[in-house]
Structure 1
Amino acid sequence: MTGTGFAKPKRLVLGLLLGCLAFSAEAQDGGLKDIAIPQGANEVQVRAHVLALKQQAGMQDDVTRIFGGRAAQDGTWPAQVSLHSAEAVDGSPEGRFQSQFCGGTIIARQWVLTAAHCVVGDDGRPSAPESILIRSGAVDMRNGDFRKVSRVIPHEDYNPVTIDNDIALVQLAEPITQSSGPVGAINVQSQGEQPPVGPATVIGWGRMEDGKFPIQLMETDIDIVPNGTCNQGMAEQTRRDMGGFLLGMGEVNRIPLETLEQAFAILSQNLGNSLTENMICAGTSSGQRTMCNGDSGGPLMVKAPNGNWVQVGVVSWNRSPIGSDRKCGHESLYGVYTRVSQYFDWISGHVRG
């Protein structure tokens, strides 16, 4: 991929951009400070978006088209839980399926680890505990136990625009003492430890390659790679998106090509890194195996030398080209995970307290 010049103008890209951008006369007369910054991912958007997608797609028992993954066997991942919108749970199999919007992991008898963007609203406040139910004990969405929540604790420095510090704790109303299926806690990586570059596994009930959602928990094998790999791929995609945007706006507003080239060069030279030190880059270069909508909050895991699984990341975010009908699984656009070892002390402080 070159990513250093303009792609040929496309009417589709132009239409999408014009449809997404609506500047007021005041904003056009002012500078960038007068243009509103778009909101980032948040609980209302994530929950509503995933639930709407599941309404459209329906339950899917055919799991052959997940992003390079496979169905998990019963008892394989006893720490994995699903987060459900309490008002949508009606006891039916369809209600169980339709109400799920994120994942999480049991890290202690009364504590679940998940992503902040799953449980933070538009106003920046945590979701009401009574609005969430935690389902545990089964890989099949139609089975397992629902557990009530007493507290929702997103990280105090969570940034919904950059999606930095994307981590949260959910305290169950009662410690887990009984279960209709396998339940257990997973170890999380200790403070300051570096996740090993190499093989890892991610699991969840997220969107599959055909756009549908599975009723069974899915697992897929990916690789943890240096953050620079993610930064490079996202920078190249940003250049392509930016080039299409500038060409489209230039055509409509009769901006000389040389001016557009100058603007493109300045913007390209000043692109910052998309990932912070609080994030992990993981996936495959082809994008064929990755996480997607509905997997948020679930674990990225590696196997320790003693054979036990250790959680090193929390499913956080990914990026797709502007105008793409496919939201996940793009070449050179890896998935991004919250780096758990940056927050071990934060987690311990709440759990022990």
Structure 2
Amino acid sequence: MITSSILLVFTVVSLIFVAIAVDLPKDEDEYRVYFNLAEKKCVEYSKLRIEDAPIALAPALRSGKRHLKVQCDILGMPLIVGGQRALYGEFPHQTELGYWEAGAPMEDVKWVCGGTLISERFVVTAAHCIVTRMGEPSFIRFGLITKLSYSVSDNIYKIARCFVHPNYTAEDMNDYDDVALVQIEDQVEFSETLRPACLNVNHDVKYKTALASGFGKLKYFDKRESLRLMKVVLDIFDGKTCLNLDKSYIS
């Protein structure tokens, strides 16, 4: 697996699932400080969890069967094929980025990109969600499980700044620097159903599968996207395997 990096989380970004990695401190003392802080925060955030909420496993985890899905190139087709509906509160870190034209009503905000809450004021997302034809996102919202009905004022925060990885190149289809941070203007108020994801502090990614969530397409070559938050089991591949696979099957 990829070394000297942290697998932050699998989430839907621009309605596409990606695995986001960042460099770990190479100095042992710096790494220990980082490890202790991440571990401490994880315990702190976990105390907000829903004690009695059923965390349903996807059918693939219950039956031993898995949906094969490559996690390398984030420019492929946005899919959540073979998934099932997520439960309320099951993905409390799930976010959506909103793109807005100044002067337009809030109802016209385009919610077309995703991210993962990692602290009181920061969300991790993909760089291609920041560098877009619509410009940078203006708003971010949390706790959405369906797009069928919602209030424009529910859990919506203004975005203060966006930080794109300095090495990101939009033209590179195999760009592993496709990562960005979004700073929220006001501190997010945590609850049982709204809290950050824990950061993995291991150098190597030892897991073979991951659970992704998002509002992606439910069928191949289908233009329609799910109006409900979905989840699906994905296989994790190393970089060498990714590069050897046909890009038309990679998302």
Q: Could you say whether these structures have the same fold, taking a TM-score greater than 0.5 normalized by the shorter chain as the test? A: yes
Correspondence for 1:199 among 187, 194, 209: 209
Q: Which residue of 2 aligns with 1:312?
A: none
1:84 correspondence with 2:98: yes
Which digits, 9 at most, give the CA deviation of each residue in 1:231-267, with x for residues without a partner? 2223xxxxxxxxxxxxxxxxxxxxxxxxxxxxxxxxx
2:84 alignment partner in structure 1: 70
- 2:227 is matched with 215
* Greater Cα radius of gyration, structure 1 or 2: 1
Report the Cα offset of residue 197 of structure 1.
4.4
CA displacement at 1:66 relative to structure 2? 4.7
Q: How many residues align?
A: 168
Give the aligned partner of residue 35 of structure 2.
Answer: none
Q: Over residues 99-133 of structure 1, what are the superposed CA-to-partner deviations in whole Å (9 max), with x where a residue is unaligned? A: 111100100011000000110247xxx945xx421
The match for 1:346 is none
Deviation at 1:166, TM superposition (A): 0.6
| Contact 2:139–2:156, Cα closer than 8 Å, also in 1 | yes
Please give the residue correspondences for 1:15-54 in structure 2 after superposition, counting only pairs within 5 Å.
none
Return the match for 2:124 from 113, 121, 133. 113
Residue identity matched to 1:165: D
- Decide whether the 8 Å contact of 2:80 with 2:231 is kept in 1: no
CA contact (8 A) 2:99 2:135 kept: no
State the partner residue of 2:115: 104
The answer as to whether partners of 1:152 and 1:171 remain within 8 angstroms in 2 is yes
Task: Give secondary structure in 1 for the equivalent of 2:115.
Answer: strand
1:189 CA drift (Å): 2.2
Give distance in 2, aligned partners of 1:206 and 1:90: 25
**Match among 166, 170, 182 for residue 170 of structure 1:** 182
Per-residue deviation, residues 279-336 of structure 1 (Å, max 9, x unmatched): xxxxxxxxxxxxxxxxxxxxxxxxxxxxxxxxxxxxxxxx32xxxxxxxxxxxx343x
Q: Which residues in structure 2 correspond to 1:149-160 (within 5 Å)?
A: 149-160=159-170
Secondary structure at 1:153's aligned position in 2?
Answer: strand
Separation of aligned partners in 1, 2:84 and 2:120: 28
Deviation at 1:204, TM superposition (A): 1.1
Mapped to 2, the partners of 1:199 and 1:218 lie a distance apart of 17
Instruction: Write the distance in 2 (CA, Å) between the matches of 1:226 and 1:156.
Output: 24
In structure 2, C-alpha distance between the alignment counterparts of 1:225 and 1:173, rounded to whole Å: 36
* Unpaired runs of at least 5, structure 2: 1-12, 17-78
Shift in Å, 1:207: 2.5
Tell me the distance in 1 between the aligned counterparts of 2:112 and 2:197: 21
Q: Is the 8 A contact 2:208 2:236 kept in 1?
A: yes
Identity of aligned residues (%): 28
Higher helix content, 1 or 2: 1
Contact 2:143 2:193 survives alignment (8 Å): yes
Deviations 1:178-232 (A, max 9, x none): 67x8200001223x61112412111111233132111211110011123222222
Quick one: distance in 1 between partners of 2:162 and 2:135? 7
- Cα distance per residue 1:49-103 (max 9 Å; x no partner): 99xxxxxxxxxxxxxx9511111110000001011112397455xx56xx11110
Instruction: Give, in whole Å, the separation in 1 of the partners of 2:144 and 2:180.
Output: 22
> Conserved in 1, the CA contact under 8 Å of 2:83 and 2:230?
yes
Which runs of 5 or more structure 1 residues have no equivalent in the other structure?
1-45, 51-64, 235-318, 321-332, 336-353
Change (3 A) 1:90 1:196: farther
Question: In the aligned structure 2, how far is the partner of 1:225 from the partner of 1:178?
Answer: 33
1:271-282 alignment to 2 at 5 Å? Answer: none
Question: How far off is 1:153 after superposition?
Answer: 0.4
2:237 is aligned, of 201, 220, 225, to: 225
Say if 1:127 and 1:152, in contact at 8 Å, map to a contact too: no
> Could you tell me how far apart the structure 1 residues matched to 2:106 and 2:138 are?
15
1:231 aligned counterpart, secondary structure: helix
AA partner of residue 193 (structure 2) = P
Measured on the aligned residues, the alpha-carbon RMSD in Å equals 3.0
Tell me the TM-score normalised to structure 1 length: 0.43
> 2:155 — aligned with what?
145
Larger relative contact order, structure 1 or 2 (CA cutoff 8 Å, min sep 6): 2
